[in-house]
Amino acid sequence: MTPNSRFIILTWLLVNCINKSALAAKRLSYNGLAQTPQMGWDTYNAYALEYNETTITTNANALVQLGFRDLGYRVVIFDDAMTELNRSSDGSLVENASKFPSGLAQIADNLHRDGLQFGVYSSAGRFTCGGYPGSLGYEYTDATWWASLGADYLKYDNCYNEGLSGTPKLSQDRYAAMSNALNSTGRQITYSLCNWGDDKPWEWASTISNSARMSGDINDGFDMPTASCPCGPDEYYCQVPGHGCSVINILGKASHFVSKNQPGYWNDLDMLEVGNGGMDYDEYKLHFSMWAAIKSPLIMGNKLDQLSAQDFGILVNPAVLAISQDPAGSAIQRQLVRQVNDKDEYGFGELQVWSGELDNGDQVVAFLNIGNSSTTMEFSLVEVFGGIRTNKNAQKRWDLFDVWGNETVMSNEVATQILNGTLAAGDATGYYNATAMSWSQGLNQNNPLLFGTPVGTVQPGEMLSAEVPRHGIQMWRLREANMSSRKRDEV
């Protein structure tokens, strides 16, 4: 065998293995979609049912003009109240002409023209949560109607479900009916279950959908308990999921089954509240960072034309988004919780350490301070990587990149210029165009925006240490030190 033929065979084997890996990932997705967590914008948290065509147009334009679309925030979800209160005589849904005078099909065409996606909504019940016609028993009728309008995404709720819940099999059958209906249309439609964690969807939903909610509805609050969200953060399965659940409540529940994610299916922690005003800057940073690292879909629920510069800077952080859209789809895991006496007004006083692996062997480490005041958090690599001394990651030398470092976060001055239209997002320092170059390509080419700010190196056996603000987060990307040196040499 000649050297040239040997090279050809080895190249073929390598390409074939890569192609098989890509095909295997797509096979894990029941419909081939959502290979990374969905990103977009939803009407409900900011507008409830009081939205219309102008609302959609305003926020869709902002997705494009402010650079959100080219970061991957593409789906625009019409969350309830899309139709009239009654079906037509033939059983079809009837679009709400007073709210959408141009017609839903024309609005969908406009979204598609601008590189966005059209997201629709219904419930696996007799009615939607807003009292409009639900799709239980009308799955094929409604799926055909949405497909005819050009829908790309369905958020499917759990209200008025006629008592068809209480066991995983009952819920799986009810939601599978719509899954089959969507597939029958011949149109690619991402399918997002919004069943509030009812009947443990993390055990069955990956075979019929692209994501499923794992808790009750989110509230724009950090850790305040509410009577409407009856189960605490350590009760991972709640038979009455409720609503008004805080960020910390949802994180606590999610910590129990982060391994259920895979390319094509994601545990959904509910929408992002960044920009709605109920939390401070550090709390929103923690919220956004952990949703990204756990691989929840990143669906904004705010008024995009009213964002502050700080909130805009959070939502466009390229180093955090690169973690969210990492090809491996592996969720960060909680490694330890340490109680402290410095409790906040709601009785929370604990420090948490989370870590997880990324596609290229890099690691994500997050220190969470859920206490009442700023504190120095210090943990060994052994503790960071699960408390096992023989863990190979605890024995390595790591370069540290702060994903919220000064060289990574867009400045308020630049963000303000983008928001007021005096600077195009694509021309701004600190902005990354993931449409022009994907997240994985950018990482392979060592784009510094996707790593974070270099802040030093930690040796095997040493401690990771950071001053973490009240209700705040310190998150790093760790890259093996000899790998970082080799990559710098290649560049």
Would you please indicate which residues are annotated as catalytic (active-site) residues?
157, 217
Cα distances from 413 to residues 285, 302, 410, in angstroms, run 18, 21, 8
Strands (DSSP E) contained in 90-185 are: 117-123, 153-157
Beta-bridge partner residues of 153? 119, 190
Cα distances from 29 to residues 32, 190, 196, 199, 313, in angstroms, run 5, 10, 21, 21, 32
Beta-bridge partner residues of 329? none
Q: Please state, in angstroms and rounded to a whole number, the distance separating the CA atoms of residues 32 and 132.
A: 31
Cα distances from 280 to residues 285, 288, 310, 338, in angstroms, run 9, 12, 10, 24
Cα distances from 33 to residues 152, 189, 201, 398, in angstroms, run 11, 8, 18, 34
- The amino acid at 397: R
Place of tokens 């926020």: 59
The single-letter DSSP state of residue 234 is T
Q: Are 236 and 212 in contact (CB under 8 A)?
A: no
Q: Are 335 and 350 in contact (CB under 8 A)?
A: no
- The amino acid at 258: V
What strands lie across the sheet with 453-458, from one edge to the other? 333-339, 350-357, 363-370, 472-480, 398-402, 453-458
Q: Please state, in angstroms and rounded to a whole number, the distance separating the CA atoms of residues 273 and 217.
A: 11
DSSP secondary structure string, 435-468?
A: TTS-HHHHHHTT-GGGT-EEEEEE-TT-EEEEEE
Select from 78, 241, 256, 43 the least CA-distant residue to 151: 78
